[in-house]
Amino acid sequence: MKYFDSFTGGEDSFWEEFPYFKDVTWFNKLYKEDRSKDKNKSSKTMWYMVLVYDIDSEFYSLASTEQYKIVCDTLSLDVREYLKGQEEIDILANRFINFIDTVITADIRATEEKLVERKEFIKYTTYSLDEMVYPGEGESFRPYMKKGTAAQLDKMVVDTKDIHEEIRKLREAAKQDQADQGKGGRVASFIE
């Protein structure tokens, strides 16, 4: 994305850097309702969106618990307080993501989210070996083999490397796609 590349500090106006966002209904509403000097609070809110949700942002891969505090400190604005709740941040974030994502970046985002889920699954699944289960006293079933998790977990760990490689390829494709376009998704001019 070209959004994070444009961030040089929270005092720069997001609205001046990306004026076409004001043409989109829900971002325009945020802009128009801002009564702060130079629309500073809504600008910082949009920079928050860039820093947290642009996949090229250095803050993107931070844990969400750290991310909020660090980004708000960086911008000197409590976005949750300004927007009056987490639900409003989530709504704006979904709209922002839908607006900025290409097909490739949406794939990257979805794959990385699944990779986090996969990491948690592997982390909290205990290793076990195959074992025979025999009926206890008074139980009437035939002994059976209970499959362990070791082989599957080991395969998942090894296969994770392939997923990382796929993400790397998608990121390269996204960067190439970005290089072929100018700011805001338009076709790059001859000078660019």
pLDDT in tens, 71-105: 999 999 999 999 999 999 999 999 999 999 999 99
Rounded Cα distance between 170 and 53, Å, is 17
In the chain, where the domains are located: 1-100, 102-187
Cβ(2)–Cβ(184) under 8 Å? yes
**pLDDT tens-place string over residues 8-17:** 888 899 999 9
What distance, in Å, lies between the first and last C-alpha atoms of the chain?
16
**pLDDT tens-place string over residues 125-173:** 999 999 999 988 888 888 999 999 999 999 999 999 999 999 999 999 8
pLDDT score of 192: 44
Q: Which residue has the tokens 């043409």?
A: 23
Rounded Cα distance between 136 and 115, Å, is 40
Rounded Cα distance between 187 and 89, Å, is 31
